Amino acid sequence: MQSITLNNGVKMPIIGFGVYQVPDAEECEKAVYEALMAGYRLIDTASGYLNEEAVGRAIKRSNIPREELFITTKLWVQDANYESAKLAFAKSLKKLQLDYLDLYLIHQPFGDYYGAWHAMEELYREGKIRAIGVSNFLPDRLMDLIVHNEIVPAVNQVETHPFYHQIESSAFMKAQGVQHQSWAPLAKGLNNLFGNEVLVSIAEKHNKSVAQVVLRWLVQRGIVVIPKSVKKERIVENFNIFDFELSTDDIEQISTLDTRKSLFLSYRDPEVAKMMGNWKVDL
């Protein structure tokens, strides 16, 4: 298993399995179990996905030694303050049936995430979390968090796929020692990703699928990927990306697909801050 080393020395698999929008408990447990059986060791969930219990059951059923796993969950906006973050962390741990977490992320750059970060720094120092990080932080927010706190986030999980390369953000994160992790690496299949002519021709050349080419491209950039699928054959396919290499020419072709903007939402839009702030989840 190829891994990267975070800024605190902790090793993280370069490929993991994401479970956003798999709310059905049975389906989620089955998919995570299949992913673990296929060889994935990193599972990416969030309190806001409402499936931590199903993830926990799959982990337990897999019988994989705890130290071989890398489990990530995230703190939702409504819990982004010092006291709530501590309570939310304890709840997540219980639902996951774990006694420590590998990575805990602030899900969104909204609310009192400074208070939350202080709580997370304490939990990290107490040994309850091996690494702490953020998600959806633009470079200015990330720098602000870094300069005002002791612990530099280990990871920033941001939307990254063939239509949104995040070139400057990625270079910025690298310079700060923050590991870039891609969410929606397959762009959720939007924008006809799987039928894209450039990607199809590269895939044919390597005798691989478009999904494999896209995941390989991100991994070759040193970016951690967490594709989601509820289909066993795709779960296996997405993991099978270490037996080929994209050429400089392939990478140049993929660079032409960058639209330099999100397919989903802008973190500079006040309406997004409002929507996230009002997004209450029954956690």
Separation of alpha carbons 49 and 52, rounded Å: 7
Max CA pair span of the chain: 54
Separation of alpha carbons 192 and 65, rounded Å: 39
Which x/- pattern, by CB under 6 A, does the window 79-108 give for ligand NAP? ----------------------------x-
Q: Name the residue among 85, 92, 75 with its Cα closest to residue 136.
A: 75
C-beta neighbour count of 224 within 10 angstroms = 26
Q: What are the tokens at 120?
A: 């997370």
If one asks whether residue 170 binds ligand NAP (CB under 6 A), the answer comes out as: no
Separation of alpha carbons 247 and 213, rounded Å: 11
If one asks whether residue 267 binds ligand NAP (CB under 6 A), the answer comes out as: no
What is the SS3 assignment for 175? helix
Amino acid in position 235: I
If one asks whether residue 241 binds ligand NAP (CB under 6 A), the answer comes out as: no
Task: Give min distance, CB of 96 to ligand NAP, in A.
Answer: 14
If one asks whether residue 70 binds ligand NAP (CB under 6 A), the answer comes out as: no
Task: Give min distance, CB of 8 to ligand NAP, in A.
Answer: 20
| Residues shown for the chain | 283
| Interface with ligand NAP (CB under 6 A), residue from 202, 238, 254, 257 | 238
If one asks whether residue 61 binds ligand NAP (CB under 6 A), the answer comes out as: no
Catalytic-labelled residue, pool 33, 49, 104, 124 = 49
Q: Counting Cβ atoms within 10 Å, is residue 108 exposed (0-12), middle (13-18) or buried (19+)?
A: buried
Nearer to ligand NAP, 126 or 134 (CB): 134
Separation of alpha carbons 68 and 124, rounded Å: 19
Q: What are the tokens at 49?
A: 């996905």
Nearer to ligand NAP, 190 or 249 (CB): 190
Nearer to ligand NAP, 57 or 109 (CB): 109
> Is 49 annotated as catalytic?
yes
If one asks whether residue 18 binds ligand NAP (CB under 6 A), the answer comes out as: yes
If one asks whether residue 163 binds ligand NAP (CB under 6 A), the answer comes out as: no
If one asks whether residue 162 binds ligand NAP (CB under 6 A), the answer comes out as: no
Which residues participate in catalysis according to the annotation? 49
- Site of interaction with ligand NAP (CB under 6 A): 18-20, 44, 107, 135-136, 157, 183-189, 194, 209, 211, 226-231, 234, 237-238
